[in-house]
Structure 1
Amino acid sequence: MAWIALVIAGVLETIWAVAMKQSHGFTRPGPTILMIVTMAASFGLLAWAMRSLPLGTAYAVWTGIGAAGAFLIGVLFLGEAASAMRIAAALLIVGGIMLMKAASPG
């Protein structure tokens, strides 16, 4: 159950990062509120998952999902560059997440 919570927390991290970008420096209330709500939920689920998962694993997976998710949203919806080097870097992050999961108990 902790892994499910951690994955959801990582997805919520992606959402709050995108909402932060869309808030334009907290000048747009809708995205700003979405960012605050999803940030709180993400942190809460991360904290809950850390009750049974190792700190290093939980934090690395959480940030990795957020980083890879933000990259994907940026490329697919925000017109950010999808160079071979950026894609390779994102794939390395995903590979690192998979290795952390494989190397972790539970």
Structure 2
Amino acid sequence: MSWLALLCAGAFEIVGVAGFERLTRRIYASGLLLGVGGFGLGLACLHYAMHSIPMAVAYGVFTGVGAVGSTLLGILFWGDSARPARLVCVLAIVVAVVGLKSSY
């Protein structure tokens, strides 16, 4: 159950980043709601997950899921770069997260 909470934490972090993106486009009400709500729920899920997953592993997976998800969201919806070098770096993050989970 802790790993599910950790994945949810990463997903909520992506929601929070999407909220910040809306704030930068001056869409204040929904941006603030998504940002505060997403990051708040993400940290709550991370807190729950850290009861049984070591801090270094939990935080590494949390930030990895958030970074990969936010990068993919930016590529798919906001026209961010999808250069091969960037995608290789995202793949490296995925490999590192899988390695953290495997080493637990």
DSSP-derived class of the 2:21 partner: helix
Residue type matched to 1:15 in 2?
V
The 2-side partners of 1:26 and 1:46 are apart by 29
Residue type matched to 1:53 in 2?
I
DSSP-derived class of the 1:52 partner: coil
Question: Given that residues 26 and 32 in structure 1 are in contact (C-alpha distance below 8 angstroms), is that contact kept between their aligned partners in structure 2?
Answer: no
Question: Given that residues 6 and 46 in structure 1 are in contact (C-alpha distance below 8 angstroms), is that contact kept between their aligned partners in structure 2?
Answer: yes
Residue type matched to 1:33 in 2?
L
Q: Does 1:19 align with 2:33?
A: no
Match of 2:70 in 1: 70
Structure 1's consecutive aligned runs of 4 or more residues displaced over 3 angstroms after TM superposition are none
For this pair of structures, how many residues does the alignment match?
A: 104
Give structure 2 stretches of 5+ with no counterpart.
none
The 2-side partners of 1:9 and 1:26 are apart by 26
Question: Given that residues 20 and 26 in structure 1 are in contact (C-alpha distance below 8 angstroms), is that contact kept between their aligned partners in structure 2?
Answer: no
Match of 1:94 in 2: 94
Question: Given that residues 18 and 34 in structure 2 are in contact (C-alpha distance below 8 angstroms), is that contact kept between their aligned partners in structure 1?
Answer: no
Would you tell me which structure has more helix in proportion to its own residues?
Answer: 2
Alignment CA distance shift 1:26-1:32 (3 Å): farther
Residue type matched to 1:39 in 2?
F
Pairwise CA RMSD of aligned residues?
1.3
Question: Given that residues 12 and 41 in structure 2 are in contact (C-alpha distance below 8 angstroms), is that contact kept between their aligned partners in structure 1?
Answer: yes
Q: How much has 1:20 moved relative to structure 2?
A: 0.6
The 2-side partners of 1:38 and 1:75 are apart by 20
Question: Given that residues 60 and 97 in structure 1 are in contact (C-alpha distance below 8 angstroms), is that contact kept between their aligned partners in structure 2?
Answer: yes
Percent of aligned positions with the same letter in both sequences? 31
Q: How much has 1:27 moved relative to structure 2?
A: 5.8
